[in-house]
Structure 1
């Protein structure tokens, strides 16, 4: 492999260009990451969402363009052209296959339009890559339809299809996510119903890892009815990964639409601003030391502007949450707030009083021996555990 120097320009932003050094045996996705790392303040989306174009095109008349391509007379965009601004990507080749090797797409030593110092000083040096940066979040519409999920109240097994759960941060098998409806799951759903559906309290769901609290919360998110009653609700699931700087996000909207997106934590405020007022946000995998400033703070600021229509659920494995819980600091809100938001989960629970605190805490406890014994009596669950 040979190290090459590539110059790039950002479409629509004449001053945002720069250069990177990379091996010609690297792949397109590695070039995306190198470019994103070079401009961290400008490129806030995930590197995978960048679109890269080979900044080489024919400057002939349209009828001669194919002939120019065939005999290698295409020319690189110049630095001077880039400084004057590139408004679009028409005529430039999109590097669509991110697993392609750079030298195989035309980015190889000796073929990069190298010029001497004088020509470079005159702005005639080449630009090799045009970078198109998406908006605040490049939402991708899923192919599968994802209407609200309705669960059989008589079945102890909750199934979330793979199409719903992909991108959630949960473990997703070939048969989706399977959840045993133990007593603690039902109690978590009741807490969600009271806080998110009947009222607008921020609900904190905490407990040890592996208890099923995230799966239960995601199942409830999938059960929320987004349309009807004159209000158009959106349901947003944000997974905070401990292995990545990026947030993985799912947006359920309309009758059956699902969209996915990944973005840096620093971009969350912009993503929240793009949502309408009728939105429920689930934050999964929250860790205070890592996420309080970049995740929780923008969520609180977003909610503060329209509390009844902007609702938040936080799922966390923090064992210290109990120490931070200060119910004496939280004000009271109505336990029932007028809203068309509904869930297909059947909850038979009346409010204990006319008011509740603005922040609520639910603790999911670990499985007991009795839970395991009861669950494994179910053949369907036993087969799922055995196969996964």
Structure 2
């Protein structure tokens, strides 16, 4: 090959061939009448990488915790900080799926779950434990608005760089034909901006190597990847791994580890009491974060409320009815996936109690119907309680609400009224009643207060789906006392405390613990007999389990009988 710098502008191809003794090889030389074109192919430039040493990591199927050091999180698209993972059952399920179904059997893997399930962190843990003597692991964290963070694990080396779609082919075809290649695409969605990425990765995966293996898995930021052609499913031998969202028990178990608890403590701020016991701190934040460990461990309570409020305000019938868990990321955070009644199936559910109550307060009856149709099949009383709150607040805002006893007989009703969200004492009109929902959550107190200043009546309501519930009088008195000292004060002639319970649990419902006896004496409640004054009312489920249109003569919603006004 003649160096391009040695060529003279007047040279013809025959001259080059002669100089390099190539005439004999080609059999003849071009004539002078022929047009000669010299094509100089530029050398392919290699991608530049930042490189660092990487220590070995081992996966233990029986481990309870897995440490991701800061240096393995940097430049990966994941939070650049040290992360101690609690190895809940879903952690091991995902690791075993990626090891057996993806790495060993060669299926195209799809890791699915609602935001905050822990899919990405678990996938990174898996990537670190792959045998790098035989495998090269390429991690690509995609983003709609930023460059894609690429991490390559080769032997004892960790390489990083930012790439885009023009460099993807070169990343996939990295040129080492002595090792197998595993590619993990993190934070994938079915967005149009990732179409080329999906096509290129899938085409690369489908190429057959005689000796070396190609493996591919998408770690999705959504619970459902959308409609996929049957032909593509068969060609790629695709398999899904659906992961359930976090439960309260898993949060409690995770935070029993001092390292984890101390690391996430700044975000467990919902109770406002730094001196509260660990269980109370976690349970209070759970009301807001629900099944999302990202909300639980990575965001303050105020930020979680802001994000969920924005998402709920963005809800519309089309998004819930048509796209559901595949909706935009702002809507996607309203959903979570939990274990169904069979213990194997998955049920799509609203993510938290705060989200459910916010939907009940702000959304239309049509939206509530859509959620009712979607959020079914759970045996978890906590999830049922969230739905009950959603229904309750929607009911008192949009229509009148009947209370029933264990036999289904009507025992009273609440009329439609204005709903105010406040932890204090709002302005109380004298000519009509209003409903007050506390902004802060406390596990032992009330969920709503009905105040009729004109009739001098107060009703404090606790909604529960459990068989038992504690009665902490201090929580109720903590609102009544400020009322009596405020400018809105009036002499309460009728104070009722009402527990709203599912009809199936009404007969056996028990008030388990009573504390703060005597605090309601000034309101006419005899000390140590408060438990006898509490009203327990049932709710009954309509057979079809759905909502009727507002404006119908009457309908029932999860057992609460509603009538249009």
The TM tier, using the shorter chain, reads 0.5 to 0.7
What residue in structure 2 maps to residue 236 of structure 1? 138
Alignment of 1:97-136 (within 5 A): 135=45
| 3-state SS in 2 of match to 1:285 | strand
CA RMSD after TM alignment: 2.6
Structure 1: which 5+ residue stretches go unaligned?
1-11, 13-132, 333-356
2-structure distance, mates of 1:326, 1:362 = 18
Q: Is 1:186 matched up with 2:186?
A: no
For 2:241, which of 362, 376, 379 is the aligned residue? 362
For 1:166, which of 43, 51, 74 is the aligned residue? 74
1-structure distance, mates of 2:218, 2:94 = 12
1-structure distance, mates of 2:60, 2:240 = 27
Matched pairs, number: 222
Q: How has the CA–CA distance of structure 1 residues 326 and 183 changed in structure 2, closer, same or farther, with 3 Å as cutoff?
A: farther
For 1:324, which of 227, 230, 245 is the aligned residue? 227
Q: Is 1:252 matched up with 2:153?
A: yes
| 3-state SS in 1 of match to 2:239 | strand
What residue in structure 2 maps to residue 141 of structure 1? 51
CA contact (8 A) 1:137 1:262 kept: no
What residue in structure 2 maps to residue 384 of structure 1? 263
| 3-state SS in 1 of match to 2:188 | coil
For 2:204, which of 266, 283, 302 is the aligned residue? 302
Alignment of 1:37-116 (within 5 A): none
2-structure distance, mates of 1:292, 1:380 = 37
2-structure distance, mates of 1:234, 1:162 = 21
How far off is 1:280 after superposition?
0.1
1-structure distance, mates of 2:203, 2:47 = 19
1-structure distance, mates of 2:165, 2:152 = 17
2-structure distance, mates of 1:376, 1:328 = 45
| 3-state SS in 1 of match to 2:57 | coil
Structure 2: which 5+ residue stretches go unaligned?
5-42, 267-297, 299-565
2-structure distance, mates of 1:314, 1:275 = 22
What residue in structure 1 maps to residue 353 of structure 2? none
Q: CA offsets, 1:214-253, max 9 Å, x none? A: 00011000000111xxxx4200000002331x11100001
What residue in structure 2 maps to residue 27 of structure 1? none
For 2:253, which of 374, 379, 383 is the aligned residue? 374
Q: CA offsets, 1:332-353, max 9 Å, x none? A: 8xxxxxxxxxxxxxxxxxxxxx
2-structure distance, mates of 1:317, 1:360 = 17
CA contact (8 A) 1:247 1:264 kept: yes
Structure 1 or 2, whichever has the larger Rg, is 2
| 3-state SS in 2 of match to 1:211 | coil
Q: Is 1:266 matched up with 2:161?
A: no
What residue in structure 1 maps to residue 106 of structure 2? 200
What residue in structure 2 maps to residue 288 of structure 1? 190
CA contact (8 A) 1:283 1:315 kept: yes
Q: How has the CA–CA distance of structure 1 residues 311 and 152 changed in structure 2, closer, same or farther, with 3 Å as cutoff?
A: closer
Higher relative contact order (CA 8 A, sep 6+): 1
2-structure distance, mates of 1:146, 1:358 = 33
How far off is 1:265 after superposition?
1.9
How far off is 1:167 after superposition?
1.2
CA contact (8 A) 1:168 1:239 kept: yes
